[in-house]
């Protein structure tokens, strides 16, 4: 049974870990996992959380090095958020937003407009990152049909190579990670592609600073060339998360945003991963003073407590959907749990914490501390690059540091490093052979040291420095 110290509040006794593991093997379908019946490894079975730590069924404490898939901001069991959810549960757990409203959803919409890039005035709630993106894609398409000067020919999208925007079909269509998306090709609509703004592996074969942002020039040229048919450009601002923590060079986002304005193309900013302080600013768009036409938010919006997402729009976009019912201009799209009161209450409490004086400023300091703690890895012959923005960091492992040759994918080296780190008390999840570190924003200096030490030791264990070739 779960130890009493890991069972706060005298909660009801759980089935034994052995029983739960058997039920897991028999019934649970884990996302993004191969489910190899011959693989003897068992995933951790979590029963509790405390601060930046997770506690498994054996009582082991694991530092949550990826924020429970990038959504936990302030740690687990945060008293202020716990209380906000309890208070709301005593009033109303759920009510539809279809033809109705609820107090926390209204309050959260107002708060998001107050803190978002200036000009975003309307909030459409959904459930998760993919649904926020799906809504944005459909809004952009319908907007072009219904704007005061309708442009029905503007019905295509421009997205980046190696983009990830979620796993619903519209989001997959604008995504471009082959191992996730290849098999669904026949179901998807065509999309124009711009090269990644990826300095370490520049797709244009150039180098900073002599390149003069050639990747931005390429994207701007595509926007200009296809402006008559583009409904929107969709990007992950500043950091492409699932592509391997790819940090765009400064100026890239601003160039693309200005080109969209100049050529009458909507800009969709997918800040599902980068929003709510991850990059050291409340929203990544703030780094270059960009206000997108549509802003997609999820993951950290509730502090990692409950599923909730939002798609913010400018009033110009919203007005194209206004009119009498007979005009048929409404956005006929929605979700059962849109604006769920419990999720909205958690989000409001999380935002209160984020906006406390000094909280966001500390994110950059913690990010630098983590990067500095990992610096010894820069001498390792199989570490190609350590890249970071705020508290989003990736360690890219390579076969040859000089040539930047990737490791054989079948070896799953990144996964092996993360598996070893688990034995050192750290929970990580790689992106291919990029070891991702994205801890809660509330992480403290001692925990940063523990995280970095586990990664360093695991890389040396899995890729001994003396074994090259």
The CATH number assigned to the domain holding 363 equals 3.90.1150.10
Q: pTM to 2 decimals?
A: 0.96
Q: Before 88, cis peptide (omega within 30)?
A: no
Contact 47, 14 (CB under 8 A): yes
Q: Are residues 200 and 341 in the same domain?
A: yes
In a domain, 467, yes or no: no
Q: Are residues 65 and 91 in the same domain?
A: no
Q: Are residues 30 and 52 in the same domain?
A: yes
CA–CA distance, 49 with 59 (Å, rounded to integer): 11
Look at residue 5 and tell me whether its pLDDT is greater than 70. Answer: no
Q: Are residues 344 and 392 in the same domain?
A: no
pLDDT in tens, 418-459: 999 999 999 999 999 999 999 999 999 999 999 999 999 999
Domain coverage including residue 370:
4-77+358-462
In a domain, 411, yes or no: yes
DSSP run (H or E) holding 85: helix 79-89
Helix, strand counts (H, E) of the chain: 14, 18
CA–CA distance, 383 with 407 (Å, rounded to integer): 11
Domain finish residue from 354, 382, 398: 354
Average per-residue pLDDT for the chain: 95
CA–CA distance, 162 with 151 (Å, rounded to integer): 29
In a domain, 197, yes or no: yes
Q: Are residues 227 and 321 in the same domain?
A: yes
> Partners of 310 in the beta sheet?
125, 297
pLDDT in tens, 345-367: 999 999 999 999 999 999 999 99
Instruction: Please give the tally of structural domains in the chain.
Output: 2
SS3 416: helix
Please, which pLDDT band fits residue 82 given cuts at 50, 70 and 90? very high
Q: Which of 206, 231, 261 is nearest to 155 (CA)?
A: 231
**Average pLDDT, integer, range 9-22:** 86
Q: Are residues 102 and 60 in the same domain?
A: no
Do the bridges between strand 392-400 and strand 405-406 make them parallel or antiparallel, or are there none, so unpaired?
antiparallel
pLDDT in tens, 89-141: 999 999 999 999 999 999 999 999 999 999 999 999 999 999 999 999 999 99
In a domain, 262, yes or no: yes
CA–CA distance, 23 with 240 (Å, rounded to integer): 36
DSSP run (H or E) holding 192: strand 192-194
Domain finish residue from 320, 354, 388: 354
Cβ neighbours for 55, distance < 8 A, ≥ 6 positions apart: 6, 46, 47, 48, 49, 61, 62
Q: Which of 431, 436, 335 is nearest to 391 (CA)?
A: 436
Domain finish residue from 354, 372, 404: 354
């Amino acid at each position: 049974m779960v130890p009493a110290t890991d069972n706060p509040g005298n909660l009801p006794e759980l089935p034994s870990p052995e029983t739960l593991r058997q039920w897991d093997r028999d019934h649970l379908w884990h996302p993004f996992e191969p489910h190899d019946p011959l693989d003897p490894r068992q995933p951790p079975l979590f029963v509790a959380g405390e601060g930046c730590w997770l506690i498994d069924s054996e009582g082991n404490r694991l530092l949550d090095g990826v924020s429970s898939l990038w959504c936990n901001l302030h740690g687990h069991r945060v008293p202020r958020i716990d209380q906000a959810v309890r208070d709301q549960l005593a009033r109303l757990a759920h009510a539809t937003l279809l033809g109705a409203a609820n107090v926390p959803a209204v309050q959260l919409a107002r708060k998001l407009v107050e803190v978002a890039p200036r000009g975003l005035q309307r909030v459409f709630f959904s459930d998760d990152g993919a649904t926020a993106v799906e809504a944005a894609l459909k809004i952009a398409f319908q907007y072009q049909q219904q704007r005061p000067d309708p442009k029905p020919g503007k019905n295509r999208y421009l997205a980046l190579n190696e983009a990830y925007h979620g796993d619903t079909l519209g989001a997959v269509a604008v995504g471009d990670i082959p191992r996730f998306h290849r098999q669904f090709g026949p179901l998807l609509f065509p999309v124009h592609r711009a090269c990644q703004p990826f300095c370490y592996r520049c797709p244009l074969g150039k180098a900073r600073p002599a390149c003069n942002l050639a990747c931005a020039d390429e994207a701007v040229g595509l926007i200009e060339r296809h402006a008559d048919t583009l409904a929107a450009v969709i990007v992950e601002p500043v950091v492409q998360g699932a592509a391997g923590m790819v940090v765009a060079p400064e100026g890239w986002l601003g160039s693309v945003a200005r080109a969209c304005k100049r050529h009458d193309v909507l800009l969709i900013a997918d800040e599902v991963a980068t929003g709510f302080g991850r990059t050291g600013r409340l929203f990544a768009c703030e780094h270059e003073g960009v206000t997108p036409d549509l802003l997609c938010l999820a993951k950290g919006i509730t502090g990692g407590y409950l599923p909730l997402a939002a798609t913010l729009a400018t009033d110009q976009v919203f007005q194209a959907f206004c009119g009498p019912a007979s005009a048929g201009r409404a956005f006929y799209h929605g979700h059962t749990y849109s604006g769920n009161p419990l999720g909205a209450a958690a989000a409001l409490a999380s935002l209160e914490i984020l906006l406390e004086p000094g909280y966001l400023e500390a994110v950059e300091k913690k990010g630098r501390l983590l990067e500095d703690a990992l610096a010894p890895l820069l001498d390792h012959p199989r570490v190609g690059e350590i890249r970071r923005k705020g508290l989003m960091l990736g360690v890219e492992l390579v076969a040859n540091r000089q040539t930047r040759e990737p490791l054989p994918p079948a070896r799953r080296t990144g996964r092996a490093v993360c598996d070893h780190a688990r034995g050192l008390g750290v929970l990580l999840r790689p992106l291919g052979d990029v070891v991702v570190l994205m801890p809660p924003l509330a992480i403290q200096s001692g925990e940063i040291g523990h995280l970095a030490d586990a990664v360093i030791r695991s890389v040396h264990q899995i890729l001994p420095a003396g074994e090259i070739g």
